[in-house]
Structure 1
Amino acid sequence: MCLLLRVDRRRFYEWRARVAAGPSPRQQRAEELTAQIVEFHAASDGTYGAPRIHADLQNAGVTVSRKTVAKLMRAEGITGISPATWHPPTTVPGADPFPVPDLIEREFDQGGRDIAWFSDVTYLRTGEGWAYLCVVHDGHTRRVLGRTVPDSMHTDLVEQALRQAVALRGELPGKLIFHADRGTQYTSGQFADAARELGLLRSMGRTGVCWDNAAAESFWSVFKNEYYHRHVFATIDDARRGAYAWIDGWYNARRRHSAIGYLSPLEYGRRQLTLAA
Protein backbone atom coordinates (compact mmCIF):
# COMPACT_ATOMS: atom_id res chain seq x y z
CA MET A 1 0.00 0.00 0.00
CA CYS A 2 2.79 2.46 0.87
CA LEU A 3 4.52 1.63 -2.42
CA LEU A 4 1.34 2.12 -4.42
CA LEU A 5 0.44 5.45 -2.75
CA ARG A 6 4.06 6.60 -2.62
CA VAL A 7 3.94 7.11 1.14
CA ASP A 8 6.98 6.78 3.36
CA ARG A 9 6.62 3.69 5.58
CA ARG A 10 7.85 5.55 8.65
CA ARG A 11 5.26 8.29 8.13
CA PHE A 12 2.52 5.70 7.77
CA TYR A 13 3.36 4.09 11.10
CA GLU A 14 3.52 7.50 12.76
CA TRP A 15 0.05 8.32 11.43
CA ARG A 16 -1.33 4.97 12.60
CA ALA A 17 0.09 5.59 16.07
CA ARG A 18 -1.56 9.05 16.21
CA VAL A 19 -4.92 7.60 15.20
CA ALA A 20 -4.64 4.93 17.88
CA ALA A 21 -3.68 7.53 20.51
CA GLY A 22 -6.71 9.70 19.74
CA PRO A 23 -6.94 13.51 19.48
CA SER A 24 -4.04 15.56 20.81
CA PRO A 25 -4.61 17.92 23.78
CA ARG A 26 -4.72 20.86 21.34
CA GLN A 27 -7.34 19.17 19.18
CA GLN A 28 -9.37 18.22 22.23
CA ARG A 29 -9.36 21.82 23.45
CA ALA A 30 -10.41 23.04 20.02
CA GLU A 31 -13.32 20.59 19.99
CA GLU A 32 -14.39 21.65 23.49
CA LEU A 33 -14.20 25.32 22.59
CA THR A 34 -16.17 24.73 19.39
CA ALA A 35 -18.91 22.96 21.34
CA GLN A 36 -19.14 25.93 23.73
CA ILE A 37 -19.15 28.39 20.86
CA VAL A 38 -22.02 26.53 19.19
CA GLU A 39 -23.92 26.58 22.48
CA PHE A 40 -23.45 30.31 23.06
CA HIS A 41 -24.26 31.10 19.43
CA ALA A 42 -27.51 29.15 19.65
CA ALA A 43 -28.36 30.87 22.95
CA SER A 44 -28.08 34.23 21.20
CA ASP A 45 -30.56 33.12 18.56
CA GLY A 46 -27.77 33.00 16.02
CA THR A 47 -26.95 36.70 16.31
CA TYR A 48 -23.62 36.77 18.15
CA GLY A 49 -20.31 37.12 16.39
CA ALA A 50 -16.81 36.49 17.71
CA PRO A 51 -16.56 39.54 20.02
CA ARG A 52 -19.74 38.75 21.96
CA ILE A 53 -19.13 34.99 22.05
CA HIS A 54 -15.62 35.72 23.30
CA ALA A 55 -17.18 37.76 26.10
CA ASP A 56 -19.52 34.85 26.92
CA LEU A 57 -16.57 32.47 27.13
CA GLN A 58 -14.65 34.84 29.38
CA ASN A 59 -17.71 35.21 31.60
CA ALA A 60 -17.83 31.42 31.82
CA GLY A 61 -14.21 31.39 32.99
CA VAL A 62 -12.70 30.20 29.71
CA THR A 63 -9.38 31.79 28.81
CA VAL A 64 -9.12 32.16 25.05
CA SER A 65 -8.26 34.93 22.60
CA ARG A 66 -10.82 36.57 20.34
CA LYS A 67 -8.80 35.56 17.26
CA THR A 68 -9.01 31.90 18.28
CA VAL A 69 -12.77 32.22 18.70
CA ALA A 70 -13.08 33.82 15.26
CA LYS A 71 -10.91 31.09 13.71
CA LEU A 72 -12.99 28.29 15.23
CA MET A 73 -16.21 30.01 14.16
CA ARG A 74 -14.96 30.24 10.58
CA ALA A 75 -13.97 26.58 10.62
CA GLU A 76 -17.43 25.63 11.87
CA GLY A 77 -19.23 28.01 9.48
CA ILE A 78 -20.73 30.07 12.29
CA THR A 79 -21.41 33.75 11.66
CA GLY A 80 -23.09 36.50 13.60
CA ILE A 81 -25.49 39.15 12.36
CA SER A 82 -24.00 42.62 11.95
CA PRO A 83 -26.48 45.41 12.65
CA ALA A 84 -27.33 47.39 9.54
CA THR A 85 -26.30 51.02 9.76
CA TRP A 86 -29.37 53.24 9.71
CA HIS A 87 -29.13 56.50 7.83
CA PRO A 88 -31.90 59.07 8.12
CA PRO A 89 -33.42 59.65 4.69
CA THR A 90 -32.09 62.83 3.14
CA THR A 91 -33.75 62.39 -0.25
CA VAL A 92 -37.48 61.99 0.25
CA PRO A 93 -39.13 62.34 -3.16
CA GLY A 94 -41.83 64.97 -3.27
CA ALA A 95 -44.49 65.86 -5.78
CA ASP A 96 -43.42 68.93 -7.73
CA PRO A 97 -46.35 70.97 -9.06
CA PHE A 98 -43.99 72.38 -11.71
CA PRO A 99 -42.19 69.68 -13.77
CA VAL A 100 -38.43 70.32 -13.74
CA PRO A 101 -36.21 68.92 -16.53
CA ASP A 102 -32.61 67.73 -16.31
CA LEU A 103 -30.66 70.56 -17.93
CA ILE A 104 -27.27 69.09 -16.97
CA GLU A 105 -27.48 65.52 -18.31
CA ARG A 106 -24.32 64.64 -16.37
CA GLU A 107 -22.23 67.40 -17.96
CA PHE A 108 -21.28 68.76 -14.56
CA ASP A 109 -18.57 71.15 -15.71
CA GLN A 110 -20.22 73.54 -18.13
CA GLY A 111 -16.94 75.24 -19.02
CA GLY A 112 -17.15 78.32 -16.85
CA ARG A 113 -18.03 79.53 -13.38
CA ASP A 114 -21.58 80.44 -12.39
CA ILE A 115 -23.10 78.47 -15.25
CA ALA A 116 -24.18 75.47 -13.18
CA TRP A 117 -24.47 75.11 -9.42
CA PHE A 118 -25.10 71.85 -7.59
CA SER A 119 -26.71 71.20 -4.25
CA ASP A 120 -27.53 68.33 -1.93
CA VAL A 121 -28.19 67.53 1.74
CA THR A 122 -26.44 64.99 3.96
CA TYR A 123 -26.83 63.93 7.59
CA LEU A 124 -24.40 64.58 10.45
CA ARG A 125 -24.57 62.49 13.61
CA THR A 126 -24.04 64.40 16.87
CA GLY A 127 -24.50 63.76 20.58
CA GLU A 128 -27.64 65.92 20.43
CA GLY A 129 -29.18 64.05 17.49
CA TRP A 130 -29.08 64.49 13.75
CA ALA A 131 -27.99 67.66 12.01
CA TYR A 132 -28.16 68.26 8.27
CA LEU A 133 -25.57 69.88 6.04
CA CYS A 134 -26.68 71.53 2.81
CA VAL A 135 -24.11 72.88 0.36
CA VAL A 136 -24.27 74.77 -2.92
CA HIS A 137 -21.11 74.60 -5.03
CA ASP A 138 -19.99 75.67 -8.47
CA GLY A 139 -19.56 72.89 -11.01
CA HIS A 140 -16.58 74.51 -12.74
CA THR A 141 -14.44 75.92 -9.93
CA ARG A 142 -15.60 73.32 -7.33
CA ARG A 143 -15.94 76.11 -4.78
CA VAL A 144 -18.60 75.73 -2.08
CA LEU A 145 -20.56 78.98 -2.22
CA GLY A 146 -23.23 78.37 0.40
CA ARG A 147 -23.56 76.01 3.39
CA THR A 148 -25.96 75.60 6.29
CA VAL A 149 -26.19 73.11 9.18
CA PRO A 150 -29.59 73.23 10.91
CA ASP A 151 -31.21 70.51 13.04
CA SER A 152 -34.11 69.89 10.65
CA MET A 153 -34.60 69.23 6.96
CA HIS A 154 -37.04 72.06 6.34
CA THR A 155 -36.79 73.80 2.97
CA ASP A 156 -35.27 76.78 4.76
CA LEU A 157 -31.89 75.04 4.91
CA VAL A 158 -31.71 74.82 1.10
CA GLU A 159 -33.00 78.36 0.54
CA GLN A 160 -30.51 79.80 3.05
CA ALA A 161 -27.58 78.02 1.37
CA LEU A 162 -28.74 79.27 -2.03
CA ARG A 163 -29.12 82.87 -0.86
CA GLN A 164 -25.63 82.69 0.67
CA ALA A 165 -24.23 81.65 -2.70
CA VAL A 166 -26.07 84.41 -4.55
CA ALA A 167 -24.91 87.03 -2.02
CA LEU A 168 -21.32 85.82 -2.38
CA ARG A 169 -21.35 86.00 -6.16
CA GLY A 170 -23.36 89.24 -6.40
CA GLU A 171 -25.00 89.89 -9.76
CA LEU A 172 -25.17 86.65 -11.72
CA PRO A 173 -24.32 86.65 -15.42
CA GLY A 174 -27.29 85.45 -17.42
CA LYS A 175 -29.33 82.38 -16.51
CA LEU A 176 -27.68 80.06 -14.00
CA ILE A 177 -28.67 76.39 -13.75
CA PHE A 178 -29.34 75.13 -10.23
CA HIS A 179 -29.18 71.34 -10.25
CA ALA A 180 -30.29 69.02 -7.42
CA ASP A 181 -32.09 65.76 -6.75
CA ARG A 182 -35.84 65.45 -6.36
CA GLY A 183 -35.98 65.67 -2.58
CA THR A 184 -38.96 67.43 -1.05
CA GLN A 185 -36.86 70.48 -0.18
CA TYR A 186 -35.99 71.09 -3.83
CA THR A 187 -39.45 70.31 -5.24
CA SER A 188 -41.33 72.48 -2.73
CA GLY A 189 -43.28 75.56 -3.74
CA GLN A 190 -41.17 77.63 -1.35
CA PHE A 191 -37.98 76.75 -3.19
CA ALA A 192 -39.60 77.22 -6.60
CA ASP A 193 -40.59 80.75 -5.56
CA ALA A 194 -37.05 81.48 -4.33
CA ALA A 195 -35.48 80.23 -7.57
CA ARG A 196 -37.91 82.31 -9.62
CA GLU A 197 -37.15 85.40 -7.55
CA LEU A 198 -33.39 84.93 -8.02
CA GLY A 199 -33.69 84.21 -11.72
CA LEU A 200 -32.35 80.63 -11.59
CA LEU A 201 -33.15 77.77 -13.94
CA ARG A 202 -34.03 74.71 -11.87
CA SER A 203 -32.70 71.33 -13.01
CA MET A 204 -33.22 67.90 -11.46
CA GLY A 205 -32.02 64.38 -12.07
CA ARG A 206 -34.23 61.32 -12.00
CA THR A 207 -35.61 59.98 -8.75
CA GLY A 208 -33.27 57.45 -7.12
CA VAL A 209 -30.49 57.87 -9.72
CA CYS A 210 -27.53 59.24 -7.75
CA TRP A 211 -25.34 59.51 -10.88
CA ASP A 212 -27.53 62.35 -12.16
CA ASN A 213 -26.24 64.44 -9.25
CA ALA A 214 -22.75 62.92 -9.13
CA ALA A 215 -21.08 66.30 -8.66
CA ALA A 216 -22.76 66.68 -5.28
CA GLU A 217 -22.15 63.02 -4.38
CA SER A 218 -18.45 63.47 -5.16
CA PHE A 219 -18.25 66.34 -2.70
CA TRP A 220 -19.90 64.23 0.01
CA SER A 221 -17.35 61.48 -0.59
CA VAL A 222 -14.50 63.92 0.04
CA PHE A 223 -16.18 65.52 3.03
CA LYS A 224 -17.11 62.25 4.72
CA ASN A 225 -13.81 60.42 4.13
CA GLU A 226 -11.43 63.27 4.77
CA TYR A 227 -13.22 64.97 7.65
CA TYR A 228 -16.55 63.74 8.98
CA HIS A 229 -15.68 60.08 9.65
CA ARG A 230 -12.53 61.14 11.51
CA HIS A 231 -14.32 63.27 14.11
CA VAL A 232 -17.00 62.94 16.78
CA PHE A 233 -19.36 65.84 17.43
CA ALA A 234 -20.85 66.29 20.89
CA THR A 235 -23.33 68.97 19.82
CA ILE A 236 -24.96 70.25 16.67
CA ASP A 237 -23.06 73.50 17.15
CA ASP A 238 -19.79 71.53 17.14
CA ALA A 239 -20.75 69.88 13.87
CA ARG A 240 -21.72 73.24 12.38
CA ARG A 241 -18.47 74.96 13.36
CA GLY A 242 -16.40 71.98 12.25
CA ALA A 243 -18.08 71.71 8.85
CA TYR A 244 -17.78 75.44 8.21
CA ALA A 245 -14.10 75.48 9.22
CA TRP A 246 -13.29 72.49 7.00
CA ILE A 247 -15.17 73.86 3.99
CA ASP A 248 -13.92 77.44 4.23
CA GLY A 249 -10.45 76.91 5.65
CA TRP A 250 -9.46 73.72 3.86
CA TYR A 251 -11.69 72.61 0.98
CA ASN A 252 -12.16 76.01 -0.66
CA ALA A 253 -8.89 77.62 0.33
CA ARG A 254 -6.22 74.91 0.32
CA ARG A 255 -7.33 71.48 -0.89
CA ARG A 256 -5.93 70.66 -4.31
CA HIS A 257 -8.32 69.25 -6.91
CA SER A 258 -7.07 67.12 -9.78
CA ALA A 259 -9.89 68.27 -12.07
CA ILE A 260 -8.73 71.90 -11.91
CA GLY A 261 -5.00 71.38 -12.29
CA TYR A 262 -4.33 70.52 -8.64
CA LEU A 263 -5.29 74.02 -7.53
CA SER A 264 -7.63 74.98 -4.72
CA PRO A 265 -11.05 76.30 -5.79
CA LEU A 266 -10.17 79.81 -4.58
CA GLU A 267 -6.84 79.86 -6.42
CA TYR A 268 -8.42 78.46 -9.56
CA GLY A 269 -11.15 81.09 -9.41
CA ARG A 270 -8.59 83.87 -8.99
CA ARG A 271 -6.62 82.66 -11.99
CA GLN A 272 -9.77 82.49 -14.07
CA LEU A 273 -10.63 86.11 -13.19
CA THR A 274 -7.08 87.23 -13.98
CA LEU A 275 -7.18 85.44 -17.33
CA ALA A 276 -10.57 86.99 -18.17
CA ALA A 277 -9.27 90.47 -17.27
Structure 2
Amino acid sequence: LRQSKRIKFEFIAKHHSAKRPIKWLCHLFEVSRSGYYKWLNSEPSERSVENRSLSDFLKATSDEQHCIPGYRKLWKLAIENSFVCSKAKVQRLLQAMGYRSRACKRSFGRAASKSNAISAFNLLNREFNVADPNRVWVSDITQVRCLDGWQYLCVVLDLYSRKVVGWGTSKINNADLVIKTLNRAWKIRKPDGNKLLFHSDQGTQYTAENTLLWHHKRNITVSMSRKGNCWDNACAESFFAQYKKEWMSNLGEISRQQMTTQSRLYIVNYYNSVRKHGTLDGVSPNAFELIN
Protein backbone atom coordinates (compact mmCIF):
# COMPACT_ATOMS: atom_id res chain seq x y z
CA LEU A 1 0.00 0.00 0.00
CA ARG A 2 2.85 2.39 0.88
CA GLN A 3 4.58 1.56 -2.41
CA SER A 4 1.33 2.21 -4.32
CA LYS A 5 0.93 5.64 -2.71
CA ARG A 6 4.51 6.57 -3.50
CA ILE A 7 3.97 5.70 -7.17
CA LYS A 8 0.82 7.84 -7.26
CA PHE A 9 2.60 10.76 -5.59
CA GLU A 10 5.48 10.52 -8.08
CA PHE A 11 3.01 10.55 -10.98
CA ILE A 12 1.21 13.62 -9.58
CA ALA A 13 4.49 15.47 -9.04
CA LYS A 14 5.56 14.78 -12.62
CA HIS A 15 2.30 15.39 -14.48
CA HIS A 16 0.39 18.11 -12.61
CA SER A 17 -0.33 21.28 -14.60
CA ALA A 18 -2.83 24.13 -14.87
CA LYS A 19 -5.14 21.81 -16.80
CA ARG A 20 -4.54 18.88 -14.43
CA PRO A 21 -4.15 20.55 -11.02
CA ILE A 22 -2.87 18.72 -7.96
CA LYS A 23 -6.29 18.82 -6.31
CA TRP A 24 -7.88 17.05 -9.29
CA LEU A 25 -5.11 14.44 -9.55
CA CYS A 26 -5.25 13.69 -5.81
CA HIS A 27 -9.01 13.17 -6.08
CA LEU A 28 -8.54 10.96 -9.15
CA PHE A 29 -6.04 8.70 -7.38
CA GLU A 30 -7.92 8.80 -4.07
CA VAL A 31 -5.06 10.25 -2.04
CA SER A 32 -5.11 13.29 0.24
CA ARG A 33 -3.45 16.56 -0.73
CA SER A 34 -1.96 16.82 2.77
CA GLY A 35 -0.41 13.38 2.30
CA TYR A 36 0.97 14.39 -1.09
CA TYR A 37 2.57 17.59 0.22
CA LYS A 38 3.95 15.75 3.23
CA TRP A 39 5.59 13.24 0.88
CA LEU A 40 6.80 16.02 -1.43
CA ASN A 41 8.51 17.96 1.36
CA SER A 42 9.83 15.01 3.33
CA GLU A 43 13.48 14.13 3.47
CA PRO A 44 14.33 10.70 2.01
CA SER A 45 14.82 8.05 4.67
CA GLU A 46 18.20 6.49 5.35
CA ARG A 47 16.94 3.23 3.81
CA SER A 48 15.78 5.03 0.66
CA VAL A 49 19.18 6.67 0.26
CA GLU A 50 20.91 3.30 0.71
CA ASN A 51 18.60 1.60 -1.79
CA ARG A 52 19.13 4.34 -4.37
CA SER A 53 22.91 4.12 -3.96
CA LEU A 54 22.84 0.32 -4.32
CA SER A 55 20.49 0.52 -7.31
CA ASP A 56 22.80 2.99 -9.06
CA PHE A 57 25.75 0.67 -8.44
CA LEU A 58 23.86 -2.38 -9.75
CA LYS A 59 22.77 -0.55 -12.89
CA ALA A 60 26.22 0.82 -13.64
CA THR A 61 27.87 -2.55 -13.02
CA SER A 62 25.36 -4.52 -15.12
CA ASP A 63 25.72 -2.02 -17.98
CA GLU A 64 29.51 -2.34 -17.87
CA GLN A 65 29.16 -6.12 -18.16
CA HIS A 66 26.59 -5.93 -20.99
CA CYS A 67 23.73 -7.12 -18.75
CA ILE A 68 25.20 -10.63 -18.53
CA PRO A 69 25.62 -11.28 -14.75
CA GLY A 70 22.69 -12.56 -12.70
CA TYR A 71 21.63 -11.25 -9.31
CA ARG A 72 23.97 -13.62 -7.39
CA LYS A 73 27.08 -12.35 -9.17
CA LEU A 74 25.92 -8.75 -8.82
CA TRP A 75 25.33 -9.34 -5.11
CA LYS A 76 28.90 -10.61 -4.70
CA LEU A 77 30.21 -7.56 -6.52
CA ALA A 78 28.13 -5.30 -4.26
CA ILE A 79 29.57 -6.99 -1.14
CA GLU A 80 33.09 -6.60 -2.55
CA ASN A 81 32.37 -2.87 -2.94
CA SER A 82 31.38 -2.48 0.74
CA PHE A 83 27.59 -2.56 0.34
CA VAL A 84 25.70 -4.21 3.19
CA CYS A 85 22.89 -6.16 1.55
CA SER A 86 21.35 -9.60 1.10
CA LYS A 87 20.90 -11.53 -2.12
CA ALA A 88 17.13 -11.10 -1.75
CA LYS A 89 17.50 -7.32 -1.57
CA VAL A 90 19.67 -7.22 -4.69
CA GLN A 91 17.19 -9.42 -6.53
CA ARG A 92 14.28 -7.18 -5.46
CA LEU A 93 16.01 -4.00 -6.61
CA LEU A 94 16.95 -5.56 -9.96
CA GLN A 95 13.37 -6.69 -10.50
CA ALA A 96 12.13 -3.18 -9.72
CA MET A 97 14.46 -1.87 -12.44
CA GLY A 98 13.15 -4.48 -14.90
CA TYR A 99 16.54 -6.21 -15.15
CA ARG A 100 17.22 -9.81 -16.01
CA SER A 101 20.47 -11.34 -17.16
CA ARG A 102 20.97 -11.81 -20.89
CA ALA A 103 21.91 -15.38 -20.05
CA CYS A 104 18.22 -16.02 -19.34
CA LYS A 105 15.88 -16.78 -22.21
CA ARG A 106 13.73 -13.79 -21.31
CA SER A 107 15.33 -10.39 -20.70
CA PHE A 108 12.80 -8.12 -19.07
CA GLY A 109 13.22 -4.46 -19.86
CA ARG A 110 16.24 -5.12 -22.07
CA ALA A 111 14.72 -6.23 -25.37
CA ALA A 112 15.33 -3.70 -28.15
CA SER A 113 11.65 -3.53 -29.01
CA LYS A 114 10.84 -2.42 -25.46
CA SER A 115 13.83 -0.24 -24.69
CA ASN A 116 11.82 2.99 -24.95
CA ALA A 117 8.57 1.60 -23.55
CA ILE A 118 6.72 3.82 -21.08
CA SER A 119 3.41 2.81 -19.53
CA ALA A 120 0.68 5.01 -18.00
CA PHE A 121 -1.85 4.72 -15.19
CA ASN A 122 -5.33 3.32 -15.80
CA LEU A 123 -7.06 6.71 -15.71
CA LEU A 124 -10.15 5.43 -17.53
CA ASN A 125 -10.81 3.01 -14.65
CA ARG A 126 -13.56 1.17 -16.61
CA GLU A 127 -15.78 4.26 -16.80
CA PHE A 128 -17.09 3.43 -20.27
CA ASN A 129 -20.18 5.69 -20.29
CA VAL A 130 -19.11 9.05 -21.75
CA ALA A 131 -21.46 12.00 -22.13
CA ASP A 132 -19.76 13.90 -24.98
CA PRO A 133 -17.98 13.01 -28.22
CA ASN A 134 -14.19 13.14 -28.51
CA ARG A 135 -13.65 12.93 -24.77
CA VAL A 136 -12.49 9.29 -24.54
CA TRP A 137 -11.03 7.20 -27.33
CA VAL A 138 -10.07 3.55 -26.84
CA SER A 139 -7.90 1.45 -29.12
CA ASP A 140 -6.69 -2.09 -29.62
CA ILE A 141 -5.18 -4.40 -32.24
CA THR A 142 -6.22 -7.86 -33.39
CA GLN A 143 -4.79 -10.32 -35.89
CA VAL A 144 -6.40 -12.37 -38.64
CA ARG A 145 -4.76 -15.38 -40.26
CA CYS A 146 -4.78 -14.97 -44.05
CA LEU A 147 -3.59 -17.12 -46.94
CA ASP A 148 -0.40 -15.08 -47.26
CA GLY A 149 0.25 -14.60 -43.52
CA TRP A 150 -1.05 -12.62 -40.56
CA GLN A 151 -2.81 -9.30 -41.15
CA TYR A 152 -3.36 -6.89 -38.25
CA LEU A 153 -6.29 -4.54 -37.67
CA CYS A 154 -6.03 -1.51 -35.37
CA VAL A 155 -9.16 0.44 -34.42
CA VAL A 156 -9.94 3.60 -32.45
CA LEU A 157 -13.42 3.86 -30.92
CA ASP A 158 -15.10 6.93 -29.45
CA LEU A 159 -16.76 5.71 -26.24
CA TYR A 160 -19.46 8.37 -26.57
CA SER A 161 -21.10 6.51 -29.45
CA ARG A 162 -18.92 3.36 -29.65
CA LYS A 163 -18.20 4.42 -33.22
CA VAL A 164 -15.03 3.31 -34.96
CA VAL A 165 -13.51 6.70 -35.74
CA GLY A 166 -10.26 5.34 -37.15
CA TRP A 167 -8.99 2.02 -38.42
CA GLY A 168 -6.03 0.62 -40.31
CA THR A 169 -4.52 -2.70 -41.37
CA SER A 170 -0.94 -3.86 -41.88
CA LYS A 171 1.04 -7.07 -42.17
CA ILE A 172 3.37 -5.63 -39.50
CA ASN A 173 2.10 -5.08 -35.97
CA ASN A 174 4.02 -2.02 -34.78
CA ALA A 175 3.71 1.61 -33.69
CA ASP A 176 3.41 2.76 -37.32
CA LEU A 177 0.08 0.95 -37.57
CA VAL A 178 -1.19 2.70 -34.44
CA ILE A 179 -0.02 6.13 -35.60
CA LYS A 180 -1.57 5.61 -39.05
CA THR A 181 -4.88 4.75 -37.40
CA LEU A 182 -4.65 7.71 -35.02
CA ASN A 183 -3.96 10.09 -37.90
CA ARG A 184 -7.08 8.91 -39.68
CA ALA A 185 -9.20 9.35 -36.56
CA TRP A 186 -7.73 12.80 -35.89
CA LYS A 187 -8.37 13.97 -39.44
CA ILE A 188 -12.01 12.83 -39.34
CA ARG A 189 -12.97 13.93 -35.81
CA LYS A 190 -10.74 17.01 -35.33
CA PRO A 191 -10.91 16.78 -31.50
CA ASP A 192 -9.52 19.14 -28.88
CA GLY A 193 -6.52 17.21 -27.56
CA ASN A 194 -6.66 19.02 -24.21
CA LYS A 195 -10.05 17.40 -23.55
CA LEU A 196 -9.24 13.96 -24.94
CA LEU A 197 -8.29 10.83 -22.99
CA PHE A 198 -6.77 8.01 -25.05
CA HIS A 199 -6.90 4.53 -23.55
CA SER A 200 -5.16 1.33 -24.70
CA ASP A 201 -3.37 -1.69 -23.30
CA GLN A 202 0.35 -1.69 -22.54
CA GLY A 203 1.37 -3.25 -25.85
CA THR A 204 4.71 -2.11 -27.26
CA GLN A 205 2.85 -0.45 -30.15
CA TYR A 206 1.20 1.94 -27.65
CA THR A 207 4.11 2.43 -25.26
CA ALA A 208 6.57 3.15 -28.09
CA GLU A 209 8.25 6.56 -27.97
CA ASN A 210 6.80 7.61 -31.35
CA THR A 211 3.25 6.83 -30.25
CA LEU A 212 3.59 8.69 -26.97
CA LEU A 213 5.18 11.64 -28.76
CA TRP A 214 2.18 11.75 -31.11
CA HIS A 215 -0.08 12.16 -28.08
CA HIS A 216 2.21 14.67 -26.39
CA LYS A 217 2.26 16.99 -29.42
CA ARG A 218 -1.55 17.16 -29.24
CA ASN A 219 -1.79 17.48 -25.42
CA ILE A 220 -3.72 14.21 -25.18
CA THR A 221 -3.93 12.47 -21.80
CA VAL A 222 -2.85 8.83 -22.05
CA SER A 223 -4.39 5.98 -20.05
CA MET A 224 -3.44 2.30 -20.17
CA SER A 225 -4.97 -0.91 -18.89
CA ARG A 226 -3.31 -2.73 -16.05
CA LYS A 227 -1.25 -5.74 -17.08
CA GLY A 228 -3.37 -8.86 -17.43
CA ASN A 229 -6.67 -6.94 -17.11
CA CYS A 230 -8.45 -7.23 -20.45
CA TRP A 231 -11.65 -5.86 -18.87
CA ASP A 232 -9.93 -2.48 -18.50
CA ASN A 233 -10.35 -2.15 -22.28
CA ALA A 234 -13.56 -4.15 -22.57
CA CYS A 235 -15.21 -2.01 -25.28
CA ALA A 236 -12.37 -2.51 -27.76
CA GLU A 237 -12.17 -6.20 -26.86
CA SER A 238 -15.92 -6.52 -27.40
CA PHE A 239 -15.70 -4.89 -30.82
CA PHE A 240 -13.12 -7.41 -32.01
CA ALA A 241 -15.17 -10.31 -30.63
CA GLN A 242 -18.17 -9.18 -32.70
CA TYR A 243 -15.99 -8.41 -35.73
CA LYS A 244 -14.69 -11.97 -35.83
CA LYS A 245 -17.94 -13.69 -34.83
CA GLU A 246 -20.33 -11.74 -37.07
CA TRP A 247 -18.13 -11.24 -40.12
CA MET A 248 -14.69 -12.76 -40.44
CA SER A 249 -15.59 -16.29 -39.28
CA ASN A 250 -18.02 -16.61 -42.22
CA LEU A 251 -15.51 -15.74 -44.95
CA GLY A 252 -13.25 -18.78 -44.99
CA GLU A 253 -9.71 -18.40 -46.31
CA ILE A 254 -8.93 -14.92 -47.62
CA SER A 255 -5.87 -12.91 -48.63
CA ARG A 256 -4.48 -9.93 -46.77
CA GLN A 257 -5.94 -7.59 -49.36
CA GLN A 258 -9.35 -9.24 -49.01
CA MET A 259 -9.08 -8.95 -45.22
CA THR A 260 -8.61 -5.19 -45.53
CA THR A 261 -11.57 -4.93 -47.90
CA GLN A 262 -13.80 -7.01 -45.64
CA SER A 263 -12.76 -4.99 -42.59
CA ARG A 264 -13.82 -1.83 -44.38
CA LEU A 265 -17.17 -3.37 -45.29
CA TYR A 266 -17.80 -4.44 -41.70
CA ILE A 267 -16.71 -1.19 -40.05
CA VAL A 268 -18.02 1.42 -42.50
CA ASN A 269 -20.99 -0.28 -44.13
CA TYR A 270 -22.27 -2.37 -41.24
CA TYR A 271 -20.95 -1.66 -37.73
CA ASN A 272 -20.98 2.15 -37.79
CA SER A 273 -24.05 2.62 -39.96
CA VAL A 274 -26.35 -0.40 -39.51
CA ARG A 275 -25.54 -2.55 -36.47
CA LYS A 276 -27.80 -1.72 -33.52
CA HIS A 277 -25.91 -1.26 -30.27
CA GLY A 278 -27.44 -2.28 -26.95
CA THR A 279 -25.73 0.49 -24.97
CA LEU A 280 -27.04 3.09 -27.46
CA ASP A 281 -30.73 2.29 -26.93
CA GLY A 282 -30.80 0.01 -29.97
CA VAL A 283 -29.45 2.36 -32.64
CA SER A 284 -26.24 2.36 -34.68
CA PRO A 285 -23.27 4.57 -33.73
CA ASN A 286 -23.91 6.85 -36.71
CA ALA A 287 -27.60 7.20 -35.83
CA PHE A 288 -26.77 7.86 -32.17
CA GLU A 289 -24.46 10.75 -33.06
CA LEU A 290 -27.04 12.11 -35.49
CA ILE A 291 -29.89 12.22 -32.98
CA ASN A 292 -27.76 13.41 -30.08
Q: Summarize deviations over 1:62-83 as a string: whole Å, max 9, x none.
A: xxxxxxxxxxxxxxxxxxxxxx
Deviation for aligned residue 1:231: 1.1
Residue 135 of structure 1 aligns to a residue whose secondary structure is strand
**C-alpha contact (below 8 Å) 1:179/1:202 kept by paired residues:** yes
Q: How much is the aligned-residue C-alpha RMSD, in angstroms?
A: 1.8
Tell me how far apart the structure 2 counterparts of residues 113 and 256 of structure 1 sit (CA, whole Å): 18
Deviation for aligned residue 1:159: 0.6
Matched, 1:146 2:166: yes
**C-alpha contact (below 8 Å) 1:253/1:266 kept by paired residues:** yes
One-letter amino acid of the structure 1 residue matched with residue 240 of structure 2: W
State TM-score, norm by structure 1: 0.62
One-letter amino acid of the structure 2 residue matched with residue 243 of structure 1: S
Deviation for aligned residue 1:234: 2.7
Tell me what 1:212 maps to.
232
* Mapping 1:220-239, distance limit 5 Å: 220-239=240-259
Residue 125 of structure 2 aligns to a residue whose secondary structure is coil
One-letter amino acid of the structure 1 residue matched with residue 269 of structure 2: G
Tell me how far apart the structure 2 counterparts of residues 173 and 186 of structure 1 sit (CA, whole Å): 17
Deviation for aligned residue 1:199: 2.3
Residue 287 of structure 2 aligns to a residue whose secondary structure is helix
Q: Summarize deviations over 1:14-47 as a string: whole Å, max 9, x none.
A: xxxxxxxxxxxxxxxxxxxxxxxxxxxxxxxxxx
Tell me what 1:252 maps to.
272
Q: 2:124 aligns with which of 104, 115, 119?
A: 104
Deviation for aligned residue 1:96: 5.8
Residue 153 of structure 1 aligns to a residue whose secondary structure is coil
Matched, 1:121 2:141: yes
Provide the identity percentage. 32
Question: Could you say if the C-alpha distance between residues 96 and 271 of structure 1 is closer, same or farther in structure 2, counting changes exceeding 3 Å?
Answer: farther
One-letter amino acid of the structure 2 residue matched with residue 208 of structure 1: G
Q: Summarize deviations over 1:209-249 as a string: whole Å, max 9, x none.
A: 10111111111111111011111243100000100111000
Tell me how far apart the structure 1 counterparts of residues 283 and 138 of structure 2 sit (CA, whole Å): 20
Residue 232 of structure 2 aligns to a residue whose secondary structure is helix
* Mapping 1:1-277, distance limit 5 Å: 94=114, 98-172=118-192, 174-272=194-292
Matched residue count: 181
Tell me how far apart the structure 2 counterparts of residues 101 and 213 of structure 1 sit (CA, whole Å): 13
Deviation for aligned residue 1:190: 0.6
Point out which structure has higher relative CO (alpha carbons under 8 A, 6+ apart): 1
State TM-score, norm by structure 2: 0.59
